Structure 1
Amino acid sequence: MAATIRDIKKRTGLSLATISKYLNGGNVLPENRILIEEAINELHYEVNELARGLVTHKTKTIGVLVYDIQCLFVGSMLHYLGMELHKKGYGMLICDSCNDEKLQKENLQFLLSRKVDGILVFAVGMHGKFLHAAKKANVPVVLVDRSFQDEEYDCVEVDNRTAIYRATNKLIENHHKKIAVIASNIEYTGRERVKGYSDAMNQAGLEIPKEYCKLGGHSFEHGYRGMKELLELEDRPTGVILGNYNTMLGGIMALNESGLSCPQDVSLIGVDNLPMTQVLRPKLWLIVQPMETMCEKAVAMLLERVNGEQNGMPVKISFSTSVREGDSIRDLG
């Protein structure tokens, strides 16, 4: 028979009120906390989260909306978010929007119906109107990786514009003048990266032919198609910036199929030091995002809102990236 709160009372000699206060997240005397925790372990007592939620109006569950769960960057971020939430005593309910804004809105309603305490959002697009329902329900939201053009929410991201500015400059420092980019232009992160590329090219006085900008979505297919088109140009680029991890994998496959080689024929620099980059040869130059740190900060920001510790205006935290050196850039000097 499952242990009850009365069994804990009998084991500890404490009042039901004190035990209930502890179980519902309240503060009790340190010596009482030790007695209760020992009794819980000895009796294998399991907290009824549904019942506790009725009392505290908290479910200890955080919703996570992702734009595409197949994206390896998203998968890695979910790993770090799950670890951090577990440390804080929270569970995670994940909804995949499959890069569909209509589904994203439906997923939000699903999470709200499950009474999640807060929501972490990897948004599909650049508009935040769909989150008005969360605001109305007073459910805190933190954006991760992507912010909006038209709405202000707490957000944790990297400085994407500066990151790709530096990537482009790395090619320029190695005397490349014909530099192309394969990136997204349908969401905030991709657009910021394209701006960084343009900033560096313009500052160096280098031409940006229209056919050197392969813009679409951050996907394997777009990377593959974009690289194929670049390599078929009569005046092909000597260096290519691959705007995210999936795009990078697609671009490398197209390069391998072409019979050309890196860096002898085309120099490459990509984004994100995820598992496949460890086995690719040559070793790639990479822009590396501090994914674990981003997730820790996103969880901390959200729980501050959930627990009423932060009630001010939306806060945006932008982390710097680092560079992993490789062998994929040829010096043309």
Structure 2
Amino acid sequence: MPFATALLGLFFSSTLHAAPLKQTAPSSQAMRDLQTLASAEMQGRGIGTEGSERARNYILKRIAEIGLKPCSSQFITEFNVKARNTSESIGRNVIACQPGKTTSADYIVVSAHYDHLGVNNQKIYFGADDNASGVAGVIAVAEYFKHKTPTNNIVYAFFDGEEIGLKGAAAFIKQQTITLNKIVANINFDMIARGDKNVLFASGSYQTPAFRTLLSDLNGRYGIQLQFDHDRPEQGTNDWTNQSDHYVFYTAGIPHLYFGVEDHVDYHKPSDTADKVNPVFFNGAIELLQNAIDIIDKASVTVDFRAERKKYKMPD
């Protein structure tokens, strides 16, 4: 048994048992955030569009209400995107930071992409689950830690350009707003609202087994089945390692955990609308994820997640 993993038993039993959280009402703030971001006003949040700007402004408003600060000089970082017709557009990430207990602390990056497919053939692709849900989840984690100081600094990253090839996450890694060797882990949310099977998946513990050890007790909490799956190479297209922004962190050697649901009938269709979301499942998922980040944050004092991830082969 790896030394870091062996330490988990003592540490987890004494300090890390997840405290039950009060079940939120269907009209939670997270649900309202999802509904706003998936509204017609946001026009599907296509990169470089007016709808994208509106969504970005809403995110900026919400993080200002929470009291978050920029990680550098400003919240928005820009990057160039080349289209197939050689034209260029500008992508914009929103990056906010919350300080940990010490100024020398490492960072946990909690991320979600806010872009979607925009308007095509005069139809709005609302992207309620993909990924207004993940953005609402990141905001909810920030609100959770507003009332308690995390051990690590936490970066709340709202990435643009995921739908066209993980462009925003790639820009974040390239720009190194946060020094990469200071990042403890990336926890990525992408499609966390559609509990059609009442299951939320966590992908990434195959590469970093400590995550599964730490979070297994969350299975069944808040009415959610938490399953650790979709991260083994032999699963082919069912291996989600390269399916969202966490892949860029993976290729940079940073431990990752990706929370999401399996594809549903409305995936990448105009019918991915807020009314399809079961608020009881979504609110339960939000509370589970808040608790999961809290557990990982506390565990990093004893567990070196970066040492764990060195035990698997990085891609060429």
Common fold: TM-score over 0.5: no
Question: Structure with the greater relative contact order (CA < 8 A, sep ≥ 6): 1 or 2?
Answer: 2
TM-score when normalising by structure 1: 0.32
Larger radius of gyration: 1
TM-score when normalising by structure 2: 0.33
